[in-house]
Structure 1
Amino acid sequence: MFGGILAGLAAGALWGLVFVAPRMVQGPSSVDLTAGRFLAYGAVALMVMLLARRRWPTAGQALSALGMSVLGFTGYYLLLVLAIRDAGTEVPSLIIGTIPLWVMLLGKPGHLRWAALVPGLLLTVGGLVLMMASPHEAAGPAPQPHYLRGLLLAAASLACWTAFALLNSAWLKRHPEVNATDWANWLGLATGAGALLLWMAAGSPAQAIAAQPDFGLFVFLCIATGFGSAWLATILWNVASQRLSASLCGQLIVSETLFALAYSFAWDARWPTPAQAAACVLFTLGILASIKAHR
């Protein structure tokens, strides 16, 4: 269990980098950066499989990896991008921020009492409320013409990643013979193919990306996040999913928010506001409460 918790926290630390990476480069769109990251993930997975002579999936395993990659990677992000286009950034972010709660609630093991999850849930909800209250109260732009459609797309995005977390955990537990690294590689191949389709559908022309002044940094960030925040993070998350219940993994997803905030504060060279600091404390206490409940 301890190894699974460390793996889940390490995955959160790597995922958190994705939130600050777009702020480090100017020019390429978020779709370009995400497609580049996922293409790099696919390339890393392919090289590892060829150089290390890792096993290749069967037809059934490849189909499962393709479905999971749509739920947890390209499909999830494409829906989120479309939601932000139609409804702005704030409300879709609030909706996506509830993913850990849904995974905790839907992934509860049968032997665990609901009362045992309440402290961790309440602490996490309190942290989300504190973190989101300030931007929610700020006066924003008028609702977009397709605001309702944006909300529905955000809800679909949330459903995709929640389903991925639950189904990925269940699949790995049903197939203990599949190594966490092999499964990450198979997901990478499927995700790389999906990223190519995503870039063709919504990305910028290759010439326009290459002409950007930050093109070198763009390529570096795609490779760094493709290797660390996708390939390595997926291996670590697979280890956590194999060793821990889905509900505890759901609580560990909160660590992604914590690390993303820490990286953001460091990039801005500032300390968090009192409300943000209090939210981070509540998130941390929520993780500890959930670990205690699952012992």
Structure 2
Amino acid sequence: MLTGILAGLGAGALWGLVFVAPRMLAMGQGGYSSVDLTAGRFAVYGLVAAGVMLLGLGRRRWPTMRQAAAALGMSVLGFSGYYLLLVLAIRDAGTEMPSLLIGTIPLWIMLLGKPHGLRWSALLPGLALTLAGLLLMMGSTHGATAGAGLNFWRGIGFAVVSLVSWTAFAILNSAWLKRHPEVNATDWANWLGVATGLGALLMWLAAGSDLQMLAARDDSMRFVLLCVLAGFGSTWLATILWNLASQRLSASLCGQLIVSETLFALLYSFAWDGHWPTLAQLCACVLFTLGILASIRAHR
């Protein structure tokens, strides 16, 4: 159980990086498109996964047609489709509100993936603390969203759809791994990576920017670096860690660990902006953390 918890927290720390990546580039009109960043990140993921599979050619399992189809479907729900929607949300609504909405994923997974033998009364403290943290953080950012226009609410819409996409992925991925214990976490991460990389290539060919235009930009090296960091660390390595957590923990406990993604995303956002969080935001982070600890205790 401890290994699963540490793996889930590690995945959350790596996932938090992708919330600030769109803010580190010139996005939108005259800059990089959401498809460019999404396709770049997952092209790297696909290349790393394919490389690992080829290096272990004699030792790695290869997927059956049914397993390959499952990987392709999961890759859209949890990777390319989800992140494209999230980048669009951050472009239109900033970092804080999308990260908070994604932070409600633990609530939905806990409600939908509760183990049969676990009483609701045992879950209520963790749920209450997590919800209180979300509401407090949301209230502390109300000034930034006052007078928001159509773009902001469009971003919130993208964030809600991305939330639904990843919630479905988390539940279905956990169930699939439990039904297939013969598939280890690294193999599954690599299969997902190859499927996601192929999807990213098709996405960029269909709607990405011209390659020469991308190479001519002043911040092209930053774009490449972010794609490599997001593709290797925040995707390939994070997926292995999350698969380890999914195999060792219930879906509801995994859901609570996703709160760490929101905490790290906010931490990275504050660091990028160069200011400390307010007292209310710090209190919200404490409530998030207490919610995780309460949920871990309930699952013992």
TM-score under structure 2 length normalisation: 0.89
CA 261–93 in structure 1, closer or farther in 2 if over 3 Å, else same: closer
Of 95-104 and 48-57, the range deviating more from structure 2 = 95-104
Query: Would you say 1:265 and 2:270 are equivalent positions?
Result: yes
CA 7–84 in structure 1, closer or farther in 2 if over 3 Å, else same: closer
Are the equivalent residues in 2 in contact too, given 1:42–1:193 (CA < 8 A)?
yes
**Runs of at least 5 residues in structure 1 that lack an aligned partner in the other structure:** none
Are the equivalent residues in 2 in contact too, given 1:40–1:192 (CA < 8 A)?
yes
**Structure 2 counterpart of 1:226, which letter?**
G
Are the equivalent residues in 2 in contact too, given 1:40–1:227 (CA < 8 A)?
yes
Residue 132 of structure 1: CA displacement?
1.6
**Structure 1 counterpart of 2:47, which letter?**
A
Which of 45, 48, 52 is the aligned partner of 2:49? 45
**Structure 2 counterpart of 1:127, which letter?**
G
Residue 37 of structure 1: CA displacement?
0.7
Residue 275 of structure 1: CA displacement?
1.0
For residues 47-69 of structure 1, give each alpha carbon's deviation from its aligned partner in whole angstroms, at most 9, with x where no partner exists.
00001222221101100000111
Q: Which residue of structure 1 aligns with residue 109 of structure 2?
A: 103
Are the equivalent residues in 2 in contact too, given 1:254–1:283 (CA < 8 A)?
yes
Q: Which residue of structure 2 aligns with residue 21 of structure 1?
A: 21
Query: Would you say 1:114 and 2:120 are equivalent positions?
Result: yes
CA 120–230 in structure 1, closer or farther in 2 if over 3 Å, else same: same
Of 202-211 and 88-97, the range deviating more from structure 2 = 88-97
Between the aligned partners of 1:80 and 1:19, the Cα distance in structure 2 is 8
Query: Would you say 1:78 and 2:84 are equivalent positions?
Result: yes
Of 18-27 and 210-219, the range deviating more from structure 2 = 18-27
**Runs of at least 5 residues in structure 2 that lack an aligned partner in the other structure:** none
CA 221–83 in structure 1, closer or farther in 2 if over 3 Å, else same: closer
Identity within the alignment, %: 74
For residues 13-46 of structure 1, give each alpha carbon's deviation from its aligned partner in whole angstroms, at most 9, with x where no partner exists.
1111112223333442343122111110000000
CA RMSD after TM alignment = 2.3
**Structure 1 counterpart of 2:277, which letter?**
P
Query: Would you say 1:5 and 2:5 are equivalent positions?
Result: yes
Query: What SS does the corresponding residue of 1:213 show, helix, strand or coil?
Result: coil
Q: Which residue of structure 2 aligns with residue 163 of structure 1?
A: 168
Are the equivalent residues in 2 in contact too, given 1:17–1:225 (CA < 8 A)?
yes
Of 239-248 and 23-32, the range deviating more from structure 2 = 23-32
Residue 150 of structure 1: CA displacement?
7.0
Q: Which residue of structure 2 aligns with residue 246 of structure 1?
A: 251
Are the equivalent residues in 2 in contact too, given 1:78–1:198 (CA < 8 A)?
no
For residues 52-98 of structure 1, give each alpha carbon's deviation from its aligned partner in whole angstroms, at most 9, with x where no partner exists.
2222211011000001111111122334456678x855876654332
